[in-house]
């Protein structure tokens, strides 16, 4: 399959959207661990790091990682946390590894100009095929809290042998990039199936634009039944192609952070840089033929679950929200509305559907049903 090199031209809008999401996650992830009293070292792995900048000097993933470290530099020194940054770039069929040289040059220059970052981190460069490097670095990924970027071309490295290895890593969050619509074009070919085996009849049951979400639904089924790993999609449209990010983490704090970033990027669906479920049209439908938008449908589901007593407190409600790809505030808005309508009562003004209330402060409140007119 002939592939265009991302670094031959300036980054396009969807590449920049992807890089911004990568960067936003680093921005949320770094302080979480830097501020934890018992954490001595954290690691960031960028296995497909590219050249550092594009043709127009727009930063790529490695420079964005360094920029986010810089923003936390005061806390990093204060907390005496060591940061190890592992950067890999490799061009499989080339003798001259020009991109690797550019990467090295770009990061070295950044560090020369930012001596504080240079002092705070250990940077380790690799010029190796991901296929060999991944298993070599697994022990290092396991050792400390780690953030792993897998910004591959195509789909190849989404195969079970990598995904199921990542599944075992309990203190690792990862962000994959996948050319999802390639599945619809090549998914039945044996050389494609050998890497990632997806059920093509299932893949084709949803509209083309939903392919990234569909792939993730299928990947979830490949995970062990008792897994803690949670996977979430963010679809990106470029011309007629659909690409996407797969976010993976075992910890609900990580999920909460990723979903907050995703919903900030798209307040209508929280999972794409386009109107994946045609929610704009749903908002404009006339009163008599109104279809619910994604958020309104979620709130309706929450309302029924609360009225049916399937959800009785903020702990259950927060888990329900994250499990369905929503942020706590969507669920909280619903509960506030129910309180205003006299359907439920709870102590105080807020239904406390946030990570901090549930997991950090362990503040549990019960929701009492006052009237259930659905019965």
Ligand X SMILES: C[S@@+](CC[C@H](N)C(=O)[O-])C[C@H]1O[C@@H](n2cnc3c(N)ncnc32)[C@H](O)[C@@H]1O
CB of 335 to ligand X, least distance (A): 40
CB of 52 to ligand X, least distance (A): 7
CB of 153 to ligand X, least distance (A): 5
Residues near ligand X (CB under 6 A)? 6-7, 19, 48-50, 60-61, 88-92, 99, 129-130, 151, 153
Maximum distance among all alpha carbons in the chain? 73
CB of 42 to ligand X, least distance (A): 20
CB of 131 to ligand X, least distance (A): 6
Measured from the CB atom, is 151 or 271 closer to ligand X? 151
Measured from the CB atom, is 19 or 169 closer to ligand X? 19
The distance from CA 230 to its chain's CA centroid, rounded to whole angstroms, is 10
Measured from the CB atom, is 124 or 369 closer to ligand X? 124
Handedness of CA 116, 119, 121, 125 (dihedral sign): positive
H and E: helices and strands count for the chain: 17, 9
Measured from the CB atom, is 104 or 293 closer to ligand X? 104
Q: For residues 80 and 154, give the distance between their C-alpha atoms in angstroms, rounded to a whole number.
A: 39
Give Rg (Cα) of the chain.
22
- Coil, helix or strand for 353? coil
Measured from the CB atom, is 4 or 221 closer to ligand X? 4
Q: For residues 198 and 191, give the distance between their C-alpha atoms in angstroms, rounded to a whole number.
A: 13
Contacts of 349 (CB under 8 A, 6+ apart): none
Find residue 195's DSSP bridge partners: none
- Which residue is at the shortest CB distance from ligand X? 50
């Amino acid at each position: 399959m002939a592939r265009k090199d991302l670094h031959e031209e300036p980054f396009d809008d969807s590449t920049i959207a992807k890089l911004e999401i990568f960067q936003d996650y680093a921005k949320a992830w770094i302080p979480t661990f830097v501020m934890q009293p018992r954490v001595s070292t954290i690691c960031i792995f960028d296995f497909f790091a590219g050249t550092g900048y594009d043709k127009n000097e727009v930063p790529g993933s490695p420079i964005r990682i360094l920029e986010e470290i810089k923003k936390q530099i005061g806390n990093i020194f204060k907390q005496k946390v060591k940061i190890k940054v592992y950067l890999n770039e490799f061009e499989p069929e080339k003798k001259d590894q020009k991109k690797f040289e550019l990467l090295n040059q770009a990061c070295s220059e950044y560090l020369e100009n930012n001596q504080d970052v240079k002092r705070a981190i250990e940077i380790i460069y690799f010029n190796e095929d991901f296929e060999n490097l991944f298993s070599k670095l697994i022990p290092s990924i396991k050792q400390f809290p780690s953030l792993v970027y897998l910004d591959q071309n195509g789909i190849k490295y989404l195969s079970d042998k990598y995904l199921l290895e990542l599944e075992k890593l309990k203190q690792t969050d990862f962000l994959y990039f996948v050319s999802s619509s390639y599945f619809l074009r090549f998914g039945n070919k044996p050389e494609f199936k050998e890497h990632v085996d997806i059920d093509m009849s299932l893949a084709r049951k949803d509209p083309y634009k939903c392919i990234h979400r569909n792939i993730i639904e299928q990947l979830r089924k490949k995970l062990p039944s008792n897994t803690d790993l949670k996977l979430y999609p963010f679809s990106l449209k470029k011309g007629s192609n659909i690409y996407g990010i797969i976010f993976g983490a075992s910890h609900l704090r990580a999920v909460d952070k990723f979903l907050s970033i995703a919903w900030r990027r798209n307040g209508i669906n929280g999972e794409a840089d386009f109107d994946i479920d045609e929610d704009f049209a749903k908002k404009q439908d006339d009163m008599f033929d109104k279809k619910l938008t994604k958020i309104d449908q979620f709130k309706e589901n929450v309302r029924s679950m609360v009225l049916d007593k399937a959800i009785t407190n903020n702990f259950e409600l927060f888990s329900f929200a994250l499990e369905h790809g929503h942020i706590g505030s969507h669920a909280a808005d619903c509960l506030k509305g129910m309180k205003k309508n006299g359907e439920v009562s709870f102590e105080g003004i807020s239904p406390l559907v946030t990570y901090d209330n549930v997991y950090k402060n362990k503040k549990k409140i019960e929701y009492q049903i006052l009237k259930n007119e659905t019965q």
